[in-house]
């Protein structure tokens, strides 16, 4: 919904979201906001990040908030502690409880301690109290106190129906949410372009990571996750920045920032340190690009993401057969799981307020009710498998990696040797890894690649890097 000034009416949006979710459950919903997390002692904390469900239903990014949503339309109570003079002296003036409630479109705001009386009232009425699984220990402890339960009991009694309905609601992104992701991508684009301009032989990974994070900070943005900036792209989540780039290596960068309202972007690009791909690198790069463009071309409402993943595997197996790294029938190789030597993760995941959107709710987000996650190596990391719907935003992030420890182990076990030419594969040790990742909106007839268009093809990357 928009006002005349074309700014979204956020308090009204939050109100509507709460009115939608309350209709789906029978009882009262307890929402637990995050608390500051101590880094080494209580007064030295990590930067605060609100719980994404709390953000989705209130937009409020202050620590230590609680909310109860009752079954009646518009009936929510926000619970917050009013800042005292010491808080104001040390951390400055903050929004009052009434202002917080107003900004979230909530009619009633009360002192935090009063939540206990309301919960007692709900219990004596015999109504069910629904809540989502608390994954921070401070939230779990708070839930245990409020619900008079042991922590294990809190976890055992999370509301399955609330989890399912929240997942359903948050999975479909509205226009205002897509605008937030686009906003995050605009800054992410600047970061990746700056990395391309700054990188080169002799530079440290940390210098490039610093340039990228500096741009985010200059725009007052947080990273959506720990950025990956590495010449060892085969280490899937490599958070070390100690490497020094050398001629002939690839630099893999997986980084994205949050929007002003905390929506994530998640972009990966892989660049040649020297500015030009070697023939060997270009050969593998083109296969990954074909995997990415080919699968983006398949995406539309109704298609299962498992099928999209398997199509990426097939494009890869065919490509690697041409290079001589794989052999035999690609379908049989994929069925056996041989391709996972090179592509041991899923093709992508949901994206929203979380970089892996709602992963805290588990597989109800990415898997259909009757669908079980595969136990096969590689396929077991597919986070999104179910049929896609109009309004889903997801990542498409195929990759090809040469992981020395995995190659050594499989070769020793002679695993899938009918599909893998280990002698040829050993010629790629030290190659690293290539991943190309974009953020995609699913539409009824296809897919829209979000973002301003970060260089991706070999000519685009080489010509952008030539301008350094």
| Residues 6 or more apart in contact with residue 412 via CB below 8 angstroms | none
14 binds, among ligand GLY, Mn ion, none (CB under 5 to 8 A by kind): none
> In terms of CB distance, is 130 or 435 closer to ligand GLY?
435
Q: The tokens 């979230």 sit on which residue?
A: 104
Q: How far is the CB of 400 from Mn ion (least distance, A)?
A: 16
Please, what is the minimum distance in Å from the beta carbon of residue 264 to ligand GLY?
Answer: 9
Query: Which secondary structure element, helix H or strand E, spans residue 86, and what is its range?
Result: helix 85-91
Q: 301: helix, coil or strand? A: coil
CB neighbours (10 Å) of residue 44? 9
- Residue 154 or residue 288: which is nearer to Mn ion going by CB? 288
Pick what 171 binds: ligand GLY, Mn ion, none; C-beta below 5 to 8 Å, kind-dependent. none
* Binding piece for Mn ion, criterion CB under 5 A, among 98-106, 242-250, 262-270, 294-302: 262-270
Q: How far is the CB of 266 from ligand GLY (least distance, A)?
A: 5
Neighbours of 317 (CB within 10 A): 25
For Mn ion, the closer of residues 180 and 266 by Cβ is 266
Residues 121-180 that bind ligand GLY (CB under 6 A): none
Q: Which of 438, 440, 436, 439 is nearest to 458 (CA)?
A: 436
Q: Which is nearer to ligand GLY, 266 or 438 (CB)?
A: 266
Among 180, 205, 207, 254, binds ligand GLY (CB under 6 A): 254
Q: Select 33 or 346, whichever has its Cβ closest to ligand GLY.
A: 346
Question: Rule CB under 6 A: is residue 354 a binding residue for ligand GLY?
Answer: no
Contact call for residue 258 and Mn ion (CB under 5 A): no
Which bin fits 281, alpha (ψ -120 to 50), beta or left (φ > 0)? alpha
Taking the complex as a whole, the smallest distance from the CB of residue 170 to ligand GLY amounts, in Å, to 18
Given Mn ion, ligand GLY, none, residue 225, with its beta carbon under 5 to 8 Å by kind, binds ligand GLY
CA-nearest of 252, 200, 182, 202 to 437 is: 252
- The C-alpha atoms of residue 453 and residue 77 are separated, in whole angstroms, by 43
In the complex with Mn ion, the residue whose CB is nearer, 183 or 357, is 357
Sequence-ordered list of residues with C-beta below 8 angstroms from that of 156, at least 6 positions apart, any chain: none
Per-residue contact flags (x/-) with ligand GLY for residues 174 to 213, judged by CB under 6 A: ----------------------------------------
Residue (100 or 191) nearer to ligand GLY, CB: 191
Q: Does 395 bind Mn ion (CB under 5 A)?
A: yes
| CA–CA distance, 212 with 444 (Å, rounded to integer) | 35
**H or E element at residue 250:** strand 250-255
Q: Which residues contact 25 (CB under 8 A, 6 or more apart)?
A: 128, 130, 159, 161, 162, 165
- Partner whose binding site includes residue 403, from Mn ion, ligand GLY, none (CB under 5 to 8 Å by kind): none
| 3 state SS of 251 | strand
**End-to-end CA distance of the chain, in Å?**
44
235: exposed, middle or buried (Cβ count in 10 Å: 0-12, 13-18, 19+): middle
The answer to whether the beta carbons of residues 69 and 60 sit under 8 Å apart is no
> At which residue do the structure tokens 């107003």 appear?
102
Q: Does 225 bind ligand GLY (CB under 6 A)?
A: yes
Give which of ligand GLY, Mn ion, none residue 342 binds (C-beta under 5 to 8 Å, depending on kind). none
Q: Which of 177, 183, 258, 266 binds Mn ion (CB under 5 A)?
A: 266
Starting at the edge strand that comes first in sequence, how are the strands of the sheet with 129-130 ordered? 108-111, 76-80, 66-69, 28-32, 129-130
Q: How far is the CB of 221 from Mn ion (least distance, A)?
A: 18
Phi first, then psi, for residue 212 (nearest 5°) are: -65, -45
Residue 234 binds ligand GLY, judged by CB under 6 A: no
With CB under 6 A as the rule, give the number of residues binding ligand GLY. 4
For Mn ion, the closer of residues 207 and 266 by Cβ is 266
Please give the residue ranges that form the binding site for Mn ion (CB under 5 A): 266, 395
Please give the residue ranges that form the binding site for ligand GLY (CB under 6 A): 225, 254, 266, 355
């Amino acid at each position: 919904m928009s006002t005349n000034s074309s700014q979204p009416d956020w308090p009204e949006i939050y109100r509507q979201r709460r009115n939608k979710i309350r209709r789906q459950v029978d009882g009262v919903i307890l929402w637990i906001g995050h608390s500051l997390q101590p880094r080494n002692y209580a007064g030295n904390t990590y930067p605060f990040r609100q719980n994404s469900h709390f953000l989705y239903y209130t937009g409020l990014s202050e620590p230590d908030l609680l909310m109860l949503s009752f079954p009646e339309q518009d009936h929510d109570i926000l619970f917050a502690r009013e800042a005292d003079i010491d808080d104001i002296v040390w951390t400055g003036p903050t929004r009052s409880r009434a202002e917080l409630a107003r900004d979230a479109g909530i009619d009633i705001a009360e002192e935090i301690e009063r939540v206990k009386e309301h919960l007692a009232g709900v219990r004596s009425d015999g109504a069910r109290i629904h809540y989502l699984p608390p994954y921070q220990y401070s939230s779990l402890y708070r839930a245990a106190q409020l619900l008079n339960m042991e922590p294990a009991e809190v976890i055992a009694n999370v509301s399955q129906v609330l989890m399912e309905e929240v997942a359903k609601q948050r999975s479909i992104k509205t226009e205002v949410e897509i605008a937030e992701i686009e906003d995050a991508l605009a800054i992410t684009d600047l970061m990746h372009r700056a990395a391309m301009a700054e990188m080169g032989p002799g530079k440290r990974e940390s210098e490039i990571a610093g340039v990228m994070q500096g741009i985010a900070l200059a725009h007052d943005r947080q990273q959506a996750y720990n950025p990956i900036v590495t010449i060892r792209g085969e280490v899937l989540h490599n958070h070390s920045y100690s490497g020094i780039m050398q001629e002939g290596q690839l630099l893999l960068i997986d980084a994205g920032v949050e929007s002003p309202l905390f929506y994530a972007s998640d972009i990966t690009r892989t660049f040649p340190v020297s500015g030009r791909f070697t023939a060997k690198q270009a050969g593998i790069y083109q296969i990954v690009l074909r995997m990415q463009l080919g699968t983006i071309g398949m995406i539309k409402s109704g298609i299962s993401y498992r099928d999209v993943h398997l199509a990426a595997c097939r494009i890869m197996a065919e490509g690697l057969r041409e290079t001589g790294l794989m052999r035999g029938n690609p379908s049989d190789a994929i069925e056996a799981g041989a391709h996972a030597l090179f592509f041991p993760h899923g093709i992508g995941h949901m994206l929203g307020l979380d970089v892996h959107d709602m992963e805290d709710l588990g597989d109800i987000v990415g898997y259909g009710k009757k669908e079980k996650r595969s136990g096969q190596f590689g396929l077991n990391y597919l986070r999104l498998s179910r049929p896609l719907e109009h309004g889903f935003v997801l990542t498409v992030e195929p990759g090809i990696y040469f992981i020395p420890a995995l190659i050594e182990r499989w070769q020793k076990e002679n695993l899938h040797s009918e599909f893998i030419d280990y002698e040829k594969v050993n010629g790629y040790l030290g190659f690293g890894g290539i991943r190309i990742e974009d953020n995609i909106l699913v539409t009824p007839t296809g897919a829209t690649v979000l973002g301003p268009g970060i260089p991706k093809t070999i000519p685009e990357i080489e010509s952008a890097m030539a301008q350094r």
